């Protein structure tokens, strides 16, 4: 792994601007239980579940990160239930930080857990910063992933080049003013790939300060048609993961 100081991935302990009203779940993980929160749409539910991955565990990243929260709520607006969870060693999740390797195993365990409970649903996998790295590591290892969303993937801090490109549809969101993951480094990496993501560039820094509504609006505009093509599965109350 790249020998670079990653302390600047700290999210400042900022929580989502709205208190979570979802259902708390405990998921069996490879290093201990994993703490999660599910959020459901207000009305109908589409035929997918979104799993959202948080930023760096050692520097304040949790399932309550504001970008993660907005990704979750945006999926809900599209009619897609979502699950945010804490990686090993974060919050009430067991285990200790493992530089992306163990966190990938955590992610795969959560994906299996979702598939067992919603067997007819596709999975959308999304991650912010370190979470985008884990999502990119995981996408080719689970058969139900139908869409990948990566927000500010830290290609200058972790070696993405050794990982295969995703075969599913992929959206990449990047801040043009990102002070931690320069947009040029992401662009240069994408240019080397055999497949190209749908790219959304926003005038934002790494944590999308003042741009979270723009992030949500851009994703809604980009993904609404795809979501609308899914059949309506059930009312929200039927979409429980438990």
DSSP assigned state of 15: P
- pLDDT in 10s for each residue of the chain, 242 residues: 333 334 334 343 333 333 345 799 999 999 999 999 999 998 778 899 999 999 999 999 999 999 999 999 999 999 999 999 999 999 999 999 999 999 999 999 999 999 999 998 999 999 999 999 999 999 999 999 999 999 999 999 999 999 999 999 999 999 999 999 999 999 999 999 999 999 999 999 999 999 999 999 999 999 999 998 887 765 554 446 65
Task: Tell me the chain's radius of gyration from C-alpha atoms.
Answer: 16
Structure tokens at 219: 């994703």
Separation of alpha carbons 193 and 69, rounded Å: 29
Predicted confidence at residue 229, as pLDDT, reads: 86
Specify the 3-state DSSP secondary structure of 62: coil
Compute the distance between CA of residue 109 and CA of residue 112 in angstroms, rounded to an integer. Answer: 5
Question: Which three-class secondary structure state does DSSP give residue 131?
Answer: helix
- What are the structural domains of the chain? 44-230 (3.40.50.1820)
Alpha-carbon distance of 50 to 111, in angstroms, equals 10
- C-beta neighbour count of 150 within 10 angstroms: 28
Return the pLDDT at 46: 87
pTM across the whole model: 0.89
Asked if 59 and 7 count as a contact pair (C-beta separation under 8 A), the reply is yes
**CA torsion, points 64, 28, 162, 206, in degrees to nearest 10?**
0
201 phi/psi in degrees, rounded to 5: -105, 130
């Amino acid at each position: 792994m790249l020998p670079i100081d990653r302390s600047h991935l700290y999210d400042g302990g900022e929580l989502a601007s709205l208190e979570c009203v979802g259902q708390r779940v405990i998921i069996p993980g490879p290093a201990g239980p994993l703490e999660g929160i599910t959020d459901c749409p207000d009305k109908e539910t589409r035929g997918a579940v979104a799993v959202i991955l948080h930023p760096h565990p050692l520097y304040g990243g949790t399932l309550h990160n504001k970008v993660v929260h907005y990704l979750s709520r945006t999926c809900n607006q599209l009619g897609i239930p979502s699950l945010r969870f804490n990686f090993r060693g974060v919050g009430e999740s067991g285990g200790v930080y493992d530089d992306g390797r163990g966190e990938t195993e955590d992610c795969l365990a959560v994906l299996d857990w979702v598939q067992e409970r919603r067997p007819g649903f596709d999975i959308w996998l999304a991650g912010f910063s370190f979470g985008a790295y884990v999502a990119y590591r995981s996408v080719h290892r689970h058969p139900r992933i139908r869409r990948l969303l990566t927000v500010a993937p830290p290609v200058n801090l972790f070696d993405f080049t050794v990982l295969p490109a995703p075969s599913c549809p992929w959206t990449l969101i990047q801040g043009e003013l990102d002070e931690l993951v320069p947009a040029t480094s992401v662009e240069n990496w994408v240019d080397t790939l055999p497949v190209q993501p749908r790219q959304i560039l926003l005038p934002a820094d790494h944590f999308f300060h003042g741009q979270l509504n723009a992030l949500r609006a851009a994703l809604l505009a980009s993904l609404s048609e795809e979501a609308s093509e899914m059949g309506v599965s059930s009312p929200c109350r039927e979409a429980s993961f438990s």
